[in-house]
Copies of this chain bind each other. A is one copy, B any other.
Amino acid sequence: MKIIQGGITAPKGFLANGISAGIKRSGKPDLGLILSEVKANTAAVFTKNSIKAAPLVVSMKHIKSGLGRAVLVNSGNANCYTGRLGLQYAYKSTELAAQLLGIDPSEVLVTSTGIIGKQLPFNKIVDGLPALIKGLSPKSGRKFARAIMTTDLKLKEMAVEVVIAGQKVTIGACAKGSGMIEPNMATMLGFVTTDAAISLRMLKLALKEAVDRSFNSITVDGCMSTNDMVTIQANGEAHNKTISRKDQDFKKFVQALEWACIDLAKKIVHDGEGATKFLTIDVKGARNEAQAKQIAKAIANSALVKTAAFGSNPNWGRVGAAVGSLGYGQINEHNMKITFSPFDKKEIAIKVRLNLGSAHATVYTCDFSYEYVRINGEYN
């Protein structure tokens, strides 16, 4: 397994592009497309927020077949709280893209990120689509990665190579997210492509495992977006022996996928709004992985722990109280051990050792700074 240059167009058979369609007032890139040259097994995970943006409703419908070709994304407008018209626009954008690409609308996923509660300027998408599609190229993964950025300070992409049953397989990925989005919330989007041949069932399983340990293991402010989504397209162009069960090949694939996703998830935290420190919360000795993660997240989302990190004040009492606040009767001061790495560094590790079982989880977060309050309080 090794890291290689590039992002979503690193695997064979993927084209991408990103352009400025005028959705953002700044004129920065705001419309992107990924296209697999052949039909690809496609899986995705969506926000658990009961209020879902319009394009997610469309994508959740289109992904049911498990086969697709394209993913269309705009930034600058989240198409959320936009009523029936917003939903119509989301459907129409997939129809229009499909028509221009000569494929079926159900083969197109769509998502949006940016301001919520404002109607999507659909005409900009209509006007932009022909140029977007015309410029599709196996070298333009980075253009796509740039077009999905909102308050992100840095572009986030990554690619990794892994040998599966003697065959080189590539995974490419990009992501956006940095806390909350102009003037709204922590939308996190991730796009993964791979030329691996893998059954849909195994692809779904792999994505779930990797996302649980990466994008679902980070938190900037504990707020859940209405637009979060991670997609994976596997087009089989590497022509490896198809991964179709939980064997060594599957394990290797998941490992590589996890590596890519954790790398991007960490980049999102590093880019967290106002972040001055990177915190790794490591919980060991829990009854099960869900409990370990719940505890790690309670620590990561504690305003007291986050401000203590900002102030470089190691305070295990705050960590202990965050754990205790979950109300597990078996956890008390006598059977919990809390250790810190030096708190005056940029990267801080908080380790909690329980005495309940052997499960563990790691969660990544950043501190809470004046700048976080400024960014989110004083936007206009």
Q: Which residues of A contact B (CB under 8 A)?
A: 48-52, 80-81, 83, 116-117, 180, 183-185, 221-226, 302-304, 307-308, 310-311, 313, 315-318, 320-333, 368-370, 372-374, 376-380
Contacts and interface: CB of A to CB of B under 8 A. Distances in A.
Given A317-B185, A327-B49, A328-B50, A307 B223 contact: no
Contacts of A320: 51, 81, 226
A337 to B, nearest CB: 12
Contact of A333 (B51, B321, B376): B51
Contacts of A224: 321, 324-325
B302 A223 contact: yes
A29 B185 CA distance: 45
A370 B379 CA distance: 15
Given A117-B317, A307-B373, A317-B185, A327 B48 contact: yes
Nearest to A317: B116
Contact of A185 (B51, B321, B374, B380): B321
A303 B373 CA distance: 9
Nearest to A185: B321
A320 B82 CA distance: 13
Contacts of A302: 222-223
Complex copy number for this chain: 2
Given A184-B321, A221-B304, A372-B373, 6 more contacts: A49-B325, A52-B332, A180-B304, A223-B325, A224-B324, A308-B376
Given A304-B223, A316-B117, A376 B311 contact: yes
A317 B369 contact: no
Contacts of A326: 50
A318 B378 contact: no
B377 A373 contact: no
Contact of A303 (B48, B117, B221, B317): B221
4 closest A-B pairs (Cβ-Cβ)?
Answer: A311-B377, A51-B324, A224-B325, A307-B376
A373 B369 contact: yes
A116 B321 CA distance: 10
A258 to B, nearest CB: 25
A185 B117 contact: no
19 contacts: A50-B326, A51-B320, A51-B332, A51-B333, A81-B333, A116-B317, A116-B321, A184-B317, A185-B317, A222-B303, A223-B303, A223-B304, A223-B321, A223-B325, A224-B324, A303-B372, A307-B377, A313-B380, A373-B373
A322 B50 contact: no
Nearest to A322: B223
Nearest to A336: B51
